[in-house]
Amino acid sequence: MNDLRELYEEVILDHNRNPRNYPKKPEGTTHTAHGFNPLCGDEFQIHLRVKDGVIEDVGFEGAGCAISTASASLMTEALKGKRVEEAEKLFEVVHDLLTREEQVDDDELLGKLTVLTGVKEYPMRVKCATLPWHTMKGALEGKKETVSTE
């Protein structure tokens, strides 16, 4: 368990210090949403370029804690090249991973995202980790209002 915790901390710190696809609004963006967590002040804009049902590019802007920034960074890496249906499924699996008590066994789909399991040790931070994911889902759904985890 210590190895997993160390890996979690290492990955979170790396993606917080060097977020991938940040700050970035891909040229030709087709889907954008704004997300805000009023409890902690995390705030992001997620930008997607979708063509023929495939997420060709993704980026994010904004500011948040280490966990929300790392989660957004990991998410952007995981989404590139995925079909919209795969991104929606990934949202469900990551949400279950972070919010359900029972173990989520979908390592093939999750890949590197499995490291987010470590957030469960900090229940108050789960909303930080899920905010970018909810915002991405809002972008795919065309939501114009601010997305929140509340």
CB atoms < 10 A from the CB of 60, how many?
Answer: 26
- Tens of pLDDT along 57-66? 999 999 999 9
Per-residue confidence at 106, pLDDT binned at 50, 70, 90? low
Q: Say if residue 1's pLDDT is above 60.
A: no
pLDDT value at 111 more than 90: no
- Nearest Cα neighbor of 71 from 21, 31, 123, 3 is 21
pLDDT at position 150 is: 78
Q: Return the structure tokens found at 99.
A: 């919010």
Residue (of 63, 42, 14, 5) closest to 125 by Cα position: 42
- Asked which of 31-40, 86-95, 108-117, 118-127 is least confident by mean pLDDT, the reply is 108-117
The contacts of residue 92 (CB under 8 Å, 6+ apart) are none
For the chain, give the percent of residues with pLDDT over 70. 96
Could you give the percent of the chain with pLDDT greater than 90?
Answer: 73
Residue 103 has pLDDT above 80, yes or no: no
Token pair belonging to 44: 């992001």
- Tell which CATH classification among 3.30.70.20, 1.10.10.10, 3.40.1180.10, 3.90.1010.10 matches the domain 2-140: 3.90.1010.10
Is the peptide bond between 23 and the residue preceding it cis, with omega within 30 degrees of 0?
yes
pLDDT of residue 8: 83
Q: Specify the pTM.
A: 0.93
The predicted structure's pLDDT at residue 107: 67
Q: Which residues are CB-neighbours of 134 under 8 A, at least 6 positions away?
A: 35, 147, 148, 149
Cα atoms in the Cβ-side hemisphere of radius 13 Å centred on 32: 15
pLDDT digits (tens, 9 = 90+) for 123-139: 889 999 999 999 999 99
